[in-house]
Amino acid sequence: MKITLLTYGSRGDVQPFLALALGLQQAGHQPTLAAPARFAAFIQQYNIPFAPLAGDPAELSQRFNDAGRNPIRMVSGMMQYALRVGAEMTYQTRAACRGAEFIVHTFAHVLDGHTLARELNIPDACLQLFPMFAPTGDYPNITLPNTGLRPLNRASHHFSSRFMEWGGIMGFEFIRRRAGLPSRRLYWPFRASPERLRTPLLCAWSPSVLPVSRDWPEYARVTGYVFMPGEASTDQPSSVLEEFLNSGPPPVCISFGSMLNRDAEKMYQVILQALGQAGQRAVLLTGWGSLPMDVHPGQFLQLDSAPHAWLLPRCKAVIHHGGAGTTAAGLRAGIPNIVIPHIADQPFWGQRVYDLGAGPRPLHLKTLTVDGLLAALAEAETQPVLAAAQAVGRSIRSEDGLGEVISAIEGHAGRWKASKP
């Protein structure tokens, strides 16, 4: 089966789709992965057909960080970015789906991906890395605080879905008129339609981290995290990293991924000061950002990146922003997670880590202090937190999220074929 995968965002958004592409390829399918052009070298080293998409997600990350935790500013920043690259991306996604027999799309492509599937008369599925589009009273939309009132929580999911739908439709109409694109009707995938099977929503997180909600719609399914099949990553640790790990006790890993934050210098100063006072060694992964200061070479090792699947099990704890991908890797490693959320779904995952007992209460970026981080580091070394982190890690490692997603795709394709005359 020829399957096009549509994703957009940081490496944490792209890597699960790359893992899925590899798994589908091993299962005998023919995947094509469409993702931001900056990931071309990363994806092509796995011999997966790649379709580059316009724009630079680092700019989108900057807009999100500038918006802070204001959901209106976040959506506004996303829409402004989409309006600038939308026309080119419309052509690119259409080209990537040419000849496809199935489309898998993520949050950023939920309208366009489903609409393309309808236009091509093929089935589709939405692979989601955080809870969206499945209304529940258990918790609110990920950008909002939990009031504890189930009706309000549930209403927040309906509101955010309609906001995404209507905003996407209006944005496309603006792009269409400005670029001279043909008129096009956009379709929302999670609305019942008599002429089409309901699009499945595949929730790619561990049920041990966020269980299935009792009041979820029938089209939602928790699959487990989607990791690279059989540790297939070609990323290899550098000799410098291996030497650093072998030169002393396990370090703390610090990883803020794609976060480009205006308070980065203050944040790193606090973290390094706290680690210095605690006498902790650390590996600092700067990602898309940069470390605006020198670090002590014996106590700290600074790298742009390192393979999480290899590094984190060799660390004593991880300090991160609470992105879905880093949270998954940190929890799978079975080590305490100290979360300093920045934006979007990150506070939600930080709270889940705390609720699971796998780390201290999330620290607020704006009020981060040396004393507060020292207390979090001390709590991360307590027996209850260590035991909880190890238990969650064992549970995640026992799951086969990749296999579950592939099974769901093949099952939906089979039902689609059987439904046709």
pLDDT tens for 341-355 read 987 789 999 999 999
Q: Can you say whether residue 49 is alpha, beta or left, with left for phi > 0 and alpha for psi between -120 and 50 degrees?
A: beta
Q: Residue 290 — very low, low, confident or very high, per pLDDT cuts 50/70/90?
A: low
Domain 231-397 has CATH 2.40.50.140: no
Q: Residue 75 — very low, low, confident or very high, per pLDDT cuts 50/70/90?
A: low
Cβ–Cβ contacts within 10 Å for residue 392, how many?
24
DSSP-derived 3-state class of residue 337: strand
* CATH topology match: 2-225+400-419 vs 231-397: yes
| CATH number of this structure's domain 2-225+400-419 | 3.40.50.2000
Cβ–Cβ contacts within 10 Å for residue 6, how many?
30
State the maximum Cα–Cα separation within the chain, in Å, rounded to a whole number. Answer: 70
Measure Cα distances from 390 to 49, 132, 209, 377, 396 in Å.
37, 28, 13, 17, 10
Lowest mean pLDDT among 47-61, 109-123, 318-332, 384-398: 47-61
Domain range list for the chain: 2-225+400-419, 231-397
DSSP conformation class of 234:
-
The CA distance from 244 to 204, in Å, is: 34
Does this model's pTM top 0.85? yes
Residue 169: φ, ψ to 5°: -65, -45
* Residue 232 pLDDT > 50: no
The CA distance from 255 to 269, in Å, is: 15
- Which residue, among 343, 336, 303, has the nearest Cα to 322 in the 3D structure? 343
* Residue 60 pLDDT > 60: yes
Lowest mean pLDDT among 79-83, 94-98, 149-153, 218-222: 79-83
